[in-house]
Structure 1
Amino acid sequence: MSRLPRPQQDSRLPGPSLPSSAFTFTMNPAGIKRKFVQEEGPHPPRKKLASIPETATIKQPLQDARPGPNLRRPAAPPALTRPHAPVLSTTRRTTRATSAPPTRAPPVRPTTATRRPVPGRVASGSSTKVEDQRFKSLQDQMSSIEAARAADAARLAADMESERAKVAELQENHLVLSRELAASKTQEINQRRELGIASEELDQLRKRHANEIMDLEMDMKRKERENRELQEELRMCKSDLERDRETIATLKATISHQSTAQITFTTQITALQAQVTALQTALDVSSNQKTSTELDLELAHKRIVELEHETRQAETVRRKLHNMVQELKGNIRVFCRVRPLIPSDMSSSENTRAEIVYPDTLDHKEIVLSSASENAMGQERKDEWQFAFDRVFEPHSSQAEVFEDISQLAQSCTDGYNVCVFAYGQTGSGKSFTMEGGPTEATAGMIPRAVEQVFAVTEELQNKGWEYKMEGQMLEIYNETINDLLGKAEFDKKKHEIKHDKSGRTTVTDVDVVPLTSANQVRSLLSIAQSRRTVASTLMNERSSRSHSVFTLRIMGENRLTGETCEGSLNLVDLAGSERLEKSGAGNDKDRLKETQSINKSLSALGDVIAALGERGEGKGDKHIPYRNSKLTYLLQNSLSGNSKTLMVLNLSPLASHLNESLCSLRFATKVNNTTIGTAKKQNRLMNSSS
């Protein structure tokens, strides 16, 4: 809907006089416009017209130029024509119009046509008169022109008043049309709003109708499904009814047969009642027997408790008797074992078998070595050396036979005693094989067999109230330096110190102590330790052990029934090879020389400790025991003292070339075998008082 344009005003005609152009108002569908019409002809002097007041302007343009049904279109006003100025008359007027004030005529400069030459000012008076007459005529003409202008101005003012009245009327009509247009627009907006509301209601009705149709279709499908289910159920009910009819017919036949059987059952019931009476009598007799049996069971249970108590006491007695037997055998014992020949021994013609005889075929406690030689005179000289030990094992003896006697010491360890078993001998005599053994069960050494024995004994003692915890460590003493074979750090990096507490327990600082739960775990630990042990090549053996290895198994036991606890340790030592410098060939190598000197020093210290212990055991006073002379003896202080049981396994080579080294080892073992270190002390105590 378009708006009517506001009538424009020509700013060039503000005065009351009518300009040379006039305004014409035309009505068209787009609105009322004022058209400026230019008329031809001469233009009189213009005067400013008075401005149209603001109240006469149209403040709001029309929204729609189309006339309404009740809208009257005013007639177009007549076009204004520009008045023509009257023709000036040359007739002289002597009167002045009274409508305008007199004006002072501007001075008229004489033109060149009226000028005359003034020759010596002869005709000055006549020329002055002519000029005055002309001046008067001009004044008269100006007066007539001003009168005509005044008349035109009055007439133009009247025309302007009529035009203003027409403009006011047009403005009123415009206001009426604007109000009607605004009302029409408001009505149209309301109708559109109502149309939108009606459209939304129609959409909602359509959606509701569609939902109702969908619900009806779903209800129809459900009804159809229920109808099918009911038909299937009806079919099944009919089949069940047929079966029930057949069953009823069968039951009727059965009832007829059961009527006959009822009579038979009545007779049987009578007989069974008689049997029930007899059974009730037998039940009473059984109840009496049950009461008697429960009394006997209670007595048997008391007897079992008494027997368990006696068994625990018997276990204590067994431990004492076992310890007495071991003490009678000697708290320090020496076994001698000669290894068999191996293929590497037969590679050289110089490696001949030594003359070794075992005369004691019953107790196997003697060994005799002999040697034949020629003196400087060419006479044959035969030497013979005889030694006796607690047990001598011939080359064909198996690992199981060697461990049979050692197993008694493993039993003592679980009883709370400190036990030390060490293998002594020259390099290549079979010490490592005796202690660690081979990969098979038959070739297993003393260490894995002792651990298995300890685990087997602890499992048996669990039935008697004992609970045990075990832990192990593997150390190496190389050049008087302690290395942890189970640790992860590099050797010789940590400084390990040996400490002995008042309870007789020995500990080494910064050493990995592994809790043991099975014998197989010990086998894996031995393989790790063996791979890390220091070895070097000598003339006596390709891979000679150049260090002492000490495996310590610590056992802690507790009996909650008796309140007794015990703690023992089993030290299994594989000593380094003992040979002289000229035999080992280490004199030419500085490192090997240092190793051999350190080994011989520690073995000599071990002999001194054993000798000092023997002198003390013979009652020769409180002799000082030089444990601190070597790390080996200081580490085994509590296992070599009178509070322990010690076993030395002497290993010998069967070769004649090793005879001198074998004799040195046999003499040292004899010295140890003749030593008495006293009575072993059990490391156990009661929870409330020490035993």
Structure 2
Amino acid sequence: MAAGVTTRTNSLKRKAATQENLGADQQPPRKLAAIAEADTNQPLRPSKTAPNSTNNTNGAGAGPSKLGRGPPPLTKPRAPTLATSTSTNAVRRTTRATSAPPKTAPVRPPARPMSRTTWVARPGASTVNDERFDSIQQQIAKIEAARAADAARLDAELAQERAKRSDLQASHEALSRELTNAKTQEIAQRQELFIASDELNSLRQRHEREISEMQADLRRKDRELRELNEDLRMCQADLERERDTVKSLKATIAQQATAQLSLTAQLGALQAEKAAVQAEFDRTCGSKADLALQLERAQKRIADLEREAREGESVRRKLHNMVQELKGNIRVFVRVRPVLRSDILSTTFNLSAGSAGSITDGTGSPDPEEEARMREEAMAQMAFPDKMDHREIVLKSSSESATGQERKDEWQFTFDRVFEPHSTQAEVFEEISQLAQSCTDGYNVCVFAYGQTGSGKSFTMEGGSSDATAGMIPRAVEQVFRVADELKSKGWQYKMEGQFLEIYNETINDLLGKGEFDKKKHEIKHDPKTGRTTVTDVNVVPLASATQVRTLLALAQGRRTVAATLMNERSSRSHSVFTLRIRGENALTGESCEGSLNLVDLAGSERLEKSGAAGDRDRLKETQNINKSLSALGDVIAALGEKGEGKGDKHIPYRNSKLTYLLQNSLSGNSKTLMFLNLSPLATHLHESLCSLRFATKVNNTTIGTARKQTKHTA
């Protein structure tokens, strides 16, 4: 199409050049003198046969003619003017009309200006002008013919382009249909792929279950094989003994054969003795009846003692629960950690926690005497006046006022138990071991560690790698397994399973999963009938021994979200919740119970300016979420206290935080709750310690009601 437009433009340019060449070759003719010279003042009028021409004395002012449908030429052609003779002897005048243009050429040449009466010029000049005019009309006709041919060619090219466009549109529609079909097939294949993936996952899970069952059967078979081998060895030993006996008997028979004669002689004497033996036998039968009666009485006594032992176990459970309720269903323990070397260095050299932890020796480290002096200066003024029950802690502070007077402040707090800095992990666990016993009795138990960052919460709950430094979680699990083994002799069989969760920025993460944090959405579900709390899409691991729990703790500890703050080099920025579920059945008494042990390591609580999180957007968000969840925990405990005091149907705001909603069944009146308040001994943390102690006092003064035993419900 563009080629047709270019051709048409070139044709128009050639026509314009031809007309300019023709106009340049023509000489302007002289004017024809009028015959009647007397009437020279009368103006000339244009001829009626040339309506398109304009009045112009020199004949060059004719307007553009209409040249059909095509565009006008680039240059306007000038019609030749009539030559007039200057002689005065023209004797007649005539009227000459212009010739009509050909039908094929719609362009009309401009008419010559004529007056009402046209003077006839000389015959020779008129003929020349007519020939020139005819040649111009022929050229115009050729130009129009060329233009018509160009228009026809352009129409043909446009028709071809339209056909191509139709073909392209048809191809586009076909390709669109094919693309739609391909997308439909792809969606169907994706659906099939998803279905196949779900089936593969289910097959894998079933395969894993079958493998675990087969492994359990294999272990049982191995155990039976060992027992059978032991029986076989004993049988072989018995067989050897019997063979030896047979040999000795054969020797005895040989001896008796020789002694038969003597025995025959003695037969008479033996028959005499027989009567005496028969009498003795009768007396023995009477004694046997008496012994059988005594055996029956002893077996009856044993059955009565076993029944009394089972009843005693039930009584022990009740008495144990009563003792725990008398101590309070919500208790608060306070533990003050010792002063660390990094604390002294950070306080003396004004270093951060990370820099202080890296200094171990050299010129920057003080000598032992200097270190002891700095330890005393770094410690806050803490006292533990109750040396018998260990239930009191006193904090003192002295400051100088603006007037120069010394101001002394003293704060005294009382709790269920206060552990001094030198207390060991075993001493701490001894106080909570009875709560682990309550778990096997079918009660919900919740133990959570609260305190500022770096106060020793994770050490208290998880502990170190050695047996002496093991924390509350592994010790509580070992206690539960030990109690379960002791109760097997009384008919109890227990099944245990555990899960380890993390609450980070109000999002639940599975610490025992595959590490795909924030890719699965975990939801908390509470069953009002059974009182069980479950979390969707989390790994619940069956527990067979306490050693397995240590492995799970090491795995979860490496995947927990931590970060460095001004308070601690490796601060826990999330709440960790270890849940141990226990289900027990007694085939002898028909009893069943179900309890749970929740061991919670809360994230560090501190102010923004103390933690240094105000300048970091991520740390700021973490600190805000931590303080929000801890505040929600305080609100729940306060609401439980008001409800326990009988202030009506008080609403408990469990849903204000994922932490409180997860621990709803363990913080309610159906559970036993223990709060571990961990304190830093440093004087620089005195304000944070006071805030923690006031919160712990509020919790200690709360009564949440009486715990109820959770019985197992069967479908």
1:106-156 per-residue CA deviation (whole Å, 9 max, x = no partner) reads xxxxxxxxxxxxxxxxxxxxxxxxxxxxxxxxxxxxxxxxxxxxxxxxxxx
1:306-327 per-residue CA deviation (whole Å, 9 max, x = no partner) reads 2222222222222111111111
Check if 1:429 corresponds to 2:455: yes
How far off is 1:489 after superposition? 4.2
Residues 545 and 284 of structure 1, relative CA distance in 2, 3 Å threshold: same
Check if 1:609 corresponds to 2:658: no
Identity %: 77
Q: Is the 8 A contact 2:397 2:408 kept in 1?
A: yes
How far off is 1:449 after superposition? 0.8
The corresponding residue for 2:297 is 299
Query: Of the candidates 615, 620, 640, which is equivalent to residue 667 of structure 2?
Result: 640
- 5+ long unaligned stretches in structure 2: 1-253, 349-374
The corresponding residue for 1:564 is 591
Q: Distance in 2 between matches of 1:497 and 1:460?
A: 37
The corresponding residue for 2:612 is 585
1:479-517 per-residue CA deviation (whole Å, 9 max, x = no partner) reads 000000001141111000000011210000000000111
Query: Of the candidates 478, 481, 500, which is equivalent to residue 526 of structure 2?
Result: 500
Residues 405 and 263 of structure 1, relative CA distance in 2, 3 Å threshold: same
Q: Is the 8 A contact 2:440 2:480 kept in 1?
A: yes
How far off is 1:284 after superposition? 3.2
Q: Distance in 2 between matches of 1:639 and 1:669?
A: 18
- 3-state SS in 2 of match to 1:348: helix
Q: Is the 8 A contact 1:420 1:646 kept in 2?
A: yes
Check if 1:677 corresponds to 2:707: no
Q: Is the 8 A contact 1:613 1:641 kept in 2?
A: yes
1:367-417 per-residue CA deviation (whole Å, 9 max, x = no partner) reads 001111111122211111100000001111111111112111111111111
Residue pairs, 1:264-275, within 5 angstroms: 266-268=264-266, 270-271=268-269, 274=272
How far off is 1:287 after superposition? 2.7
The corresponding residue for 1:622 is 649
1:402-440 per-residue CA deviation (whole Å, 9 max, x = no partner) reads 111211111111111111000001111111111111111
- 5+ long unaligned stretches in structure 1: 1-254
The corresponding residue for 2:508 is 482
Residue pairs, 1:44-59, within 5 angstroms: none
- 3-state SS in 2 of match to 1:551: strand
The corresponding residue for 1:530 is 557
Residue pairs, 1:29-428, within 5 angstroms: 266-268=264-266, 270-271=268-269, 274=272, 277-350=275-348, 352-428=378-454
Q: Is the 8 A contact 1:564 1:687 kept in 2?
A: no
Q: Which amino acid aligns with 2:611?
A: S
How far off is 1:342 after superposition? 2.1
How far off is 1:271 after superposition? 5.0
Aligned residue pairs total 433
- 3-state SS in 2 of match to 1:397: coil
Q: Which amino acid aligns with 2:281?
A: L
How far off is 1:274 after superposition? 5.0
How far off is 1:348 after superposition? 3.5
Q: Is the 8 A contact 2:583 2:712 kept in 1?
A: no
Q: Is the 8 A contact 2:578 2:600 kept in 1?
A: yes
Q: Is the 8 A contact 2:594 2:712 kept in 1?
A: no
Q: Distance in 1 between matches of 2:257 and 2:648?
A: 112
Q: Which amino acid aligns with 1:299?
A: R
Check if 1:463 corresponds to 2:489: yes
1:424-468 per-residue CA deviation (whole Å, 9 max, x = no partner) reads 011111111111111111111111111111111111222222111
Q: Distance in 1 between matches of 2:402 and 2:688?
A: 24
Q: Is the 8 A contact 2:461 2:471 kept in 1?
A: yes
The corresponding residue for 1:656 is 683
How far off is 1:288 after superposition? 2.2
Residues 564 and 376 of structure 1, relative CA distance in 2, 3 Å threshold: same
Q: Distance in 1 between matches of 2:380 and 2:710?
A: 45
Q: Distance in 1 between matches of 2:578 and 2:589?
A: 31
Q: Is the 8 A contact 2:484 2:493 kept in 1?
A: yes
How far off is 1:564 after superposition? 1.8
Q: Distance in 2 between matches of 1:455 and 1:494?
A: 32
The corresponding residue for 1:631 is 658
- 3-state SS in 2 of match to 1:473: strand
How far off is 1:349 after superposition? 4.4
Residues 349 and 627 of structure 1, relative CA distance in 2, 3 Å threshold: closer
Q: Is the 8 A contact 1:565 1:687 kept in 2?
A: no
Q: Distance in 1 between matches of 2:445 and 2:258?
A: 91
Residues 263 and 324 of structure 1, relative CA distance in 2, 3 Å threshold: closer
The corresponding residue for 2:572 is 545
* Structure possessing the higher radius of gyration over alpha carbons: 1
Check if 1:491 corresponds to 2:517: yes
Q: Distance in 2 between matches of 1:569 and 1:540?
A: 33
1:7-62 per-residue CA deviation (whole Å, 9 max, x = no partner) reads xxxxxxxxxxxxxxxxxxxxxxxxxxxxxxxxxxxxxxxxxxxxxxxxxxxxxxxx
Q: Distance in 1 between matches of 2:256 and 2:416?
A: 94
Residues 276 and 652 of structure 1, relative CA distance in 2, 3 Å threshold: farther
Query: Of the candidates 541, 545, 554, which is equivalent to residue 518 of structure 1?
Result: 545
How far off is 1:275 after superposition? 5.1
How far off is 1:573 after superposition? 0.2
How far off is 1:291 after superposition? 2.0
How far off is 1:285 after superposition? 2.7
Q: Distance in 1 between matches of 2:673 and 2:578?
A: 15
TM-score for both structures, normalised by structure 2:
0.58
How far off is 1:276 after superposition? 5.2
Q: Distance in 1 between matches of 2:258 and 2:475?
A: 82
Q: Distance in 2 between matches of 1:311 and 1:512?
A: 39
Residues 267 and 572 of structure 1, relative CA distance in 2, 3 Å threshold: same
Check if 1:450 corresponds to 2:476: yes
Q: Distance in 2 between matches of 1:685 and 1:285?
A: 58
- 3-state SS in 2 of match to 1:624: coil
1:46-80 per-residue CA deviation (whole Å, 9 max, x = no partner) reads xxxxxxxxxxxxxxxxxxxxxxxxxxxxxxxxxxx
How far off is 1:343 after superposition? 2.3
Structural RMSD (CA): 2.1
Residues 593 and 289 of structure 1, relative CA distance in 2, 3 Å threshold: same
The corresponding residue for 1:9 is none
Q: Distance in 2 between matches of 1:549 and 1:258?
A: 84
Q: Which amino acid aligns with 2:403?
A: M
Q: Is the 8 A contact 1:563 1:687 kept in 2?
A: no
Q: Is the 8 A contact 1:563 1:686 kept in 2?
A: no
How far off is 1:685 after superposition? 6.0
Q: Distance in 1 between matches of 2:456 and 2:279?
A: 81
Q: Is the 8 A contact 2:524 2:533 kept in 1?
A: yes
Residues 685 and 517 of structure 1, relative CA distance in 2, 3 Å threshold: closer
How far off is 1:297 after superposition? 1.3
Q: Distance in 1 between matches of 2:509 and 2:256?
A: 96
TM-score for both structures, normalised by structure 1:
0.60
